[in-house]
Structure 1
């Protein structure tokens, strides 16, 4: 299916079960975009499913669809990139990272609380809405996995599912990330605004994280996250 002619992408995680849009997307489709019965729209389930649908009932509360064509694993990424990142003191900055990393192509985000992480909690529901918006805007069929705020130790336990684990940190042992062979699934850890503690760096290395650099410049947390996702997608 050609995505270049799509004016708007809708999200319905259970489209095959419910054959309709939720209240928010229904209102947008019918009242804002003025979609009518018989109009063709594109819908994703956020799991790689891409659906070409016609509107059978343009109800602004629950727009009913008729699925015409389905494509699974639509534009599947060549590499699944997961990022472990610490929420920033200014929420706008981490929200910027979420939006841009989804547009570029991130498969999952772990939100981590380190010794130097300022926020004690996150608004995961808002973060998810930003991710959905980014997915729609960039016409992608994959909504990234996102965790609630994890302790550093909890994150390390979850990281055992990855065979390639990287940590972005400027030190003498760090390798340029562009110089290493990359696997199809990988995890990269981005530090907090106050950097990792010595203990956290030690734990990361003990848990088989390899230290890499994203260049010679010192970057803000959210900038480093966006740069990491960009580089790893291009390599």
Structure 2
């Protein structure tokens, strides 16, 4: 069944123009056909088309179901966007497919990108949510100074990933070992030039655990995807162990 998005479908009971056009002109759905609509807050609506108009496709809600995120805890990824916008868009798409609750674009001392327009990114998140059959849309923050994020209260485990040249690789804490399955988790990843010493010091004072993301030197967006994938892989492994 085809899936669409409307944040206020319960009250409007009609698809917005862009979704209506895709439904009626592209997919050629007609009156009587059933579709799924998600509101981005975890609710899934099974709907029947009652007026197939490409500018305003009107619906009747047939059934409603709450579909909470399958990972069952908060995953927040905060990352300094690279200069190439395609790379941050690809990252946002992939982590939404995997499952994440919030994406925070960071402004750091060494950031190459100082400004980020989030309108297109939000459309990418919506498409990824629908494609991966989720009902919850990640929160996308505006560009946020690192200091602002560090000052936020967060009920969970906080990690900052960076390269500490003063420590031999074998002495660095590995995120895959430090991560606690099922805990609310925030992972902070810096720009391509890494965090400044002052930023690292501020993060450690704010209670962040310093971690490494494995043996390879990763691009910023790759590091973000690696971290989110690691959370889900470790969570899934823990669930399978408990089942046996």
TM-score of the superposition, structure 1-length normalised? 0.93
Q: Give distance in 2, aligned partners of 1:138 and 1:86.
A: 25
Alignment of 1:25-174 (within 5 A): 25-158=19-152, 160-171=153-164, 172=167, 174=172
Q: Give distance in 1, aligned partners of 2:233 and 2:46.
A: 29
Q: Give distance in 2, aligned partners of 1:189 and 1:74.
A: 25
In structure 1, the residue matched to 2:173 is 175
Alpha-carbon distance, 1:78 to partner: 2.6
* Runs of 4+ in structure 1 over 6 Å off: none
Q: Give distance in 2, aligned partners of 1:106 and 1:198.
A: 28
Alpha-carbon distance, 1:213 to partner: 1.8
In structure 1, the residue matched to 2:184 is 185
In structure 1, the residue matched to 2:241 is none
In structure 2, the residue matched to 1:205 is 204
In structure 2, the residue matched to 1:3 is none
Shift in alpha-carbon separation, 1:38–1:74, aligned structure 2, 3 A: farther
Q: Give distance in 1, aligned partners of 2:196 and 2:120.
A: 29
**Is 1:215 aligned to residue 196 of structure 2?**
no
In structure 1, the residue matched to 2:229 is 230
Q: Give distance in 1, aligned partners of 2:182 and 2:46.
A: 33
Q: Give distance in 1, aligned partners of 2:36 and 2:68.
A: 12
Q: Specify the SS of the correspondent of 1:161.
A: coil
Q: Give distance in 2, aligned partners of 1:143 and 1:214.
A: 26
Q: Give distance in 2, aligned partners of 1:208 and 1:24.
A: 44
Compare 15-24 and 77-86 and name the one that shifted more: 77-86
Contact conserved, 1:52 with 1:70, CA < 8 A, in 2? yes
Q: Give distance in 1, aligned partners of 2:47 and 2:69.
A: 18
Alpha-carbon distance, 1:75 to partner: 4.9
Q: Give distance in 2, aligned partners of 1:227 and 1:107.
A: 16
Deviation per CA, 1:21-49: give whole Å up to 9, x if none: 10000000000000100101011101111
Contact conserved, 1:50 with 1:74, CA < 8 A, in 2? no
The gaps in structure 2 that reach 5 residues or longer are 235-244
The gaps in structure 1 that reach 5 residues or longer are 1-5
Q: Give distance in 1, aligned partners of 2:114 and 2:147.
A: 16
Q: Specify the SS of the correspondent of 1:78.
A: coil
TM-score of the superposition, structure 2-length normalised? 0.89
